Amino acid sequence: MIEDRNTFIVRCGEVALKGLNKPYFERMLVDRIKRALKKYPGIEVKRNEGLIFVRAQKEFDADLIVGDISRVFGVASISPAVETVSDMDEIGQAAVEYMLRLIEKKGVKTFKVDAKRADKNFPVKSPDIAKTIGAKVLIGCKVLKVDVHNPDCLLFVDVRKDKSYIYEQKISGFGGLPLGTNGKGMILLSGGIDSPVAAWLMAKRGMLIEAVHFHSYPYTSERAREKVVDLAGIVAGYCGRFKMHVINLLPIQELIVQNCPEEETTILVRRFMMKIAEKVAQETDCCMLITGENLGQVASQTAEALVVTDQSVQMPVMRPLIAMDKVDIMDIAKNIGTFETSILPYEDCCTVFLPKHPATKPKLAKILVSESRLEVEQLVADAVASKETITIYPAE
């Protein structure tokens, strides 16, 4: 008999490779899946024998549930499955009903059974399970033929101790580690392509995210800020609700322009951004800063400039995109849904007061001389005090 609930088998990626900590990571993953599915009342999420089983009422759209599970970091793949009693007759009957539906839905004409016996006490061995269930399907579904080389449907039969499972698809998740298993990081989030990807990549490794965004209002517009909020919402679709601290950098930018050499503007602005972000990060228990910087991409991201930027703070700075090619970053942005918003043509505070010839090989000693003309500590403290903190909710 086919069950009256939809069942989903969820496979853990790297979590499955963990040693003694495995139960902890599995618990965290179950918790994250539960959170992602809390909009479906009565849903059940349980771990068993290294897998996670999700069971939901039939009235909920199975494709939507698969989509929601697939965005949970730590999930390697998902199979919508039919659950049945571990008994050859029951499995056979369920397999026939399953294939009849697939014939109707997808016009499947050929199939092959791939059977696995996780319960070694089950009296029938895997190859015999495949043969017997295959024969039952052939009798029950007259239009079907077996094709062992290139079947329309590879029918998996997974026989376990209490229950057995029948499915045909393995839908990929993103892998990674469950959120909350790797501290919290502060992402410097601009409206560009790179920083949302950087945030996503770190969150994928289990890191909780908090963000700081700088603007130069009124040089940058209200629309530019909304764009960043929208982008953050897309990222929150993966890493859950988070806080974003919004800070006007214009007073500092103006002082830099008035007091320091023009070619140093960019690097000086970047060092201020880092210092302010570090202070906010310390206040909010973030253990590292994260940026979307990428070696050689622009003048402020030459090796020399990155070193001088780094020397503005004590906190470790993670740059997950450092060695990636732009096309690969863009591919991730497209895949996670941030790209279309990132390319909307709104100005960023980095583009305000852009020097004609930015210093590509800045020297720390010279930069420190320029900074000595400014009340750096006070300016950083003022900027932190002026921050506006908003909560970012996952985009619908």
Binding footprint of ligand ATP on the chain (CB under 6 A): 188-190, 192-195, 212-214, 273, 291-293, 297-298, 300, 348-350
Please choose, out of 64-72, 100-108, 283-291, 348-356, the segment that lies near Mg ion by the rule CB under 5 A: 348-356
Minimum gap (Å) between residue 214 Cβ and ligand ATP: 4
Diameter of the chain by CA atoms?
Answer: 87
Q: Using alpha carbons only, what angle is made at residue 301 by residues 299 and 303, rounded to the nearest 5 degrees?
A: 110
349 binds, among Mg ion, ligand ATP, none (CB under 5 to 8 A by kind): ligand ATP
Identity of the residue, 81 or 193, whose beta carbon is nearer to ligand ATP in the bound complex: 193
- How many residues are listed for the chain in this entry? 396
Identity of the residue, 180 or 192, whose beta carbon is nearer to ligand ATP in the bound complex: 192
The Cα 270–Cα 300 span in angstroms is 8
Distances (CA, A) of 328 to 112, 197, 322, 325: 37, 11, 12, 5
Candidate list 190, 248, 312, 341; residue touching Mg ion; CB under 5 A? 190
The Cα 175–Cα 15 span in angstroms is 9
Residue nearest to Mg ion (CB): 192
Minimum gap (Å) between residue 329 Cβ and ligand ATP: 8
Minimum gap (Å) between residue 284 Cβ and ligand ATP: 15
Nearest 10 degrees: CA dihedral of 291, 296, 297, 299? 90
The tokens describing 50, both together, are: 């290294």
Q: Is the sign of the CA dihedral 22, 23, 27, 28 positive or negative? A: negative
The tokens describing 324, both together, are: 């990636």
189 binds, among ligand ATP, Mg ion, none (CB under 5 to 8 A by kind): ligand ATP
Identity of the residue, 11 or 213, whose beta carbon is nearer to ligand ATP in the bound complex: 213
The Cα 396–Cα 388 span in angstroms is 24
Please choose, out of 89-97, 131-139, 182-190, 208-216, the segment that lies near Mg ion by the rule CB under 5 A: 182-190
Q: Kindly give the interhelix angle for 265-283 and 364-371, rounded to the nearest 10 degrees.
A: 80
Cβ atoms within 10 Å, residue 394? 17
213 binds, among ligand ATP, Mg ion, none (CB under 5 to 8 A by kind): ligand ATP
Please choose, out of 14-22, 92-100, 155-163, 186-194, the segment that lies near Mg ion by the rule CB under 5 A: 186-194
Identity of the residue, 291 or 370, whose beta carbon is nearer to ligand ATP in the bound complex: 291
Please choose, out of 120-128, 170-178, 189-197, 222-230, the segment that lies near Mg ion by the rule CB under 5 A: 189-197
Identity of the residue, 190 or 341, whose beta carbon is nearer to ligand ATP in the bound complex: 190
Residue nearest to ligand ATP (CB): 192
The answer to whether 91 and 131 have CB atoms below 8 angstroms apart is no
Identity of the residue, 336 or 349, whose beta carbon is nearer to Mg ion in the bound complex: 349
192 in contact with Mg ion (CB under 5 A) = yes
3-class SS of residue 139: helix
Instruction: Look at residues 115, 113, 116 and name the one whose alpha carbon lies nearest to residue 148.
Output: 113
Minimum gap (Å) between residue 374 Cβ and ligand ATP: 19
- Radius of gyration from C-alpha coordinates of the chain: 27
Identity of the residue, 216 or 370, whose beta carbon is nearer to ligand ATP in the bound complex: 216
Identity of the residue, 160 or 271, whose beta carbon is nearer to ligand ATP in the bound complex: 271
Minimum gap (Å) between residue 370 Cβ and ligand ATP: 19
Cβ atoms within 10 Å, residue 249? 24
The Cα 249–Cα 349 span in angstroms is 8
30 binds, among ligand ATP, Mg ion, none (CB under 5 to 8 A by kind): none
For strands 163-167 and 51-57, give the pairing.
unpaired
Identity of the residue, 114 or 348, whose beta carbon is nearer to Mg ion in the bound complex: 348
Minimum gap (Å) between residue 264 Cβ and ligand ATP: 15
The answer to whether 309 and 274 have CB atoms below 8 angstroms apart is yes
297 binds, among Mg ion, ligand ATP, none (CB under 5 to 8 A by kind): ligand ATP
- Name which of residues 19 to 58 contact Mg ion (CB under 5 A): none
Minimum gap (Å) between residue 240 Cβ and ligand ATP: 20
For strands 317-318 and 288-290, give the pairing.
parallel
Identity of the residue, 179 or 350, whose beta carbon is nearer to ligand ATP in the bound complex: 350
Instruction: Look at residues 276, 278, 272 and name the one whose alpha carbon lies nearest to residue 254.
Output: 272
User: Given the rule CB under 5 A, which residues bind Mg ion?
Assistant: 190, 192, 348
